[in-house]
Structures are given as structure tokens and as C-alpha cells.
Amino acid sequence: MKKLTLLFCLALLFAGTQSFAQLSKQEKKEWKKKAKEYAKQPANLKQFVEDKQSADNQVATLNRRVTDLQKAVSDKDARIAELEDELSQLRGQLTATRAELAQLKENPVINPMDFSRGVVFKVQVGAFKNKDLSKYFDNNPNFGGEVKEGEPQRITIGIFRDYWEADQFKKYMREMGVKDAWIVPYKDGERTEIKDVLEGVTAEKPKTEE
């Protein structure tokens, strides 16, 4: 058994010849002494080998963990980059949306069929004291009027966004015998002065066909 242990120690010494070549004479002497001690106490050599194997296994395990952690960090860095890119895009969309909202506040879009908002033109065809037609106003958007206590009931026909369409309709009404037909403007449902809403509306009169 001692012979086998000695042979094993010699094998270790032979395998480490190149390493020993880099050692000083004093270090070589110390390691030869340790080899002889291990030859006398093979249990210590066995423990040394087992400890080294255990250490090697721990190092391998730690290396794997380091590799896994590096991969996890790399994946997280890539995900962070993706999220930052998405965040940048969302910020851009938010900025664009805010700009659109600001534009809408300055220039609100008016539904052309919602005549309660914006400027519209109606043609008044008369004012009557003894005729109450108010019950027809709500169910007929093209027929309306104004009812004020102590005043004649003003009757209007038609409702137009375009002033010149209202003007043409007024002319038709006059040709049909309604001599007092004239245009009345409304802004957001309230009657107003025509001079207050015609800026730019009548600046360029459309050409009539000859």
C-alpha cells in the first residue's frame, strides 16, 4: 500500500515537473518534503485530493452561476432597452396627442349637422302676432322661429352653414311672393348681428352662371 502511495506521489511530482521547473530550489525542497509526508500519510493525501475535487466542483458551479447571471443581466439589459424605446414612442404619441387636443381647443370641429353650434343662417319669412306656430319648431329643424313675450312671433325657414346658399334661398322665397324674406344669422344657437359673423364669409362672392 505504501509503495502504491509513493508511486502516486511520484506520479504527481512527475506531472508537476513543468510547474516545479518554475519553482525556486527552496520551494522544490519544501514540496518534495510534503510529498514524502503524503507518502507516509496516504489518508492526508486522499483528503487533499478530495478537497481539491470539491473545490474544483464549487468553482465549476460558481462559474456556471456567473454565466447564468451574466445571461440574465444581458436579457434584462435588452428588455430595458426595448422598454425605453417603447417609452420614447409613447412620449412621442403623447406629445402629438396633446398638440392635437390643443389644436381642437383652438379650432373645435363642428358637426355640420349640429346646428346648435357655430354660425348658421336662416331665412326669416315674417313676424306674426296672431299666429302661434311654436308647436312645430322642435320637430322640424328647417322650420323655426323665436317667441318673446309681447313681441310678434318670428318665423324662419331653412338653415344653412353657407351664407350664399341662404342668400339664394332668400331670393327664391321673394320670387315666390314672400317679399319680407331676409337672412338672420345665429351663433351657437343665439341670434346675432349679421355684421358680427360675415367677416370672411362674404369676402368673395361666388360667380353666378350667365
CATH of the domain at 177: 3.30.70.1070
Give per-residue pLDDT as tens, 133-156.
777 777 777 888 777 777 888 888
Name the pLDDT band for 24 (thresholds 50, 70, 90).
confident
Domain count, the chain: 1
Residue pair 39/9 in contact (Cβ under 8 Å)? The answer is: yes
User: Domain of 178?
Assistant: 119-196
104 within domain boundaries? no
Tell me, yes or no, whether 180 lies in a domain: yes
**Residue 153 belongs to a domain:** yes
Domain-located, residue 55: no
Judge whether 178 lies within some domain: yes
Q: Is residue 126 part of a domain?
A: yes
In a domain, 71, yes or no: no
pLDDT tens column, 37-75: 777 777 877 888 888 889 999 999 999 999 999 999 999
pTM beyond 0.95: no
Residues 9 and 45: beta-carbon distance below 8 Å: yes
Residue 146: CB partners within 8 Å, gap ≥ 6? 153, 154, 156, 191
Residue 151 in domain: yes
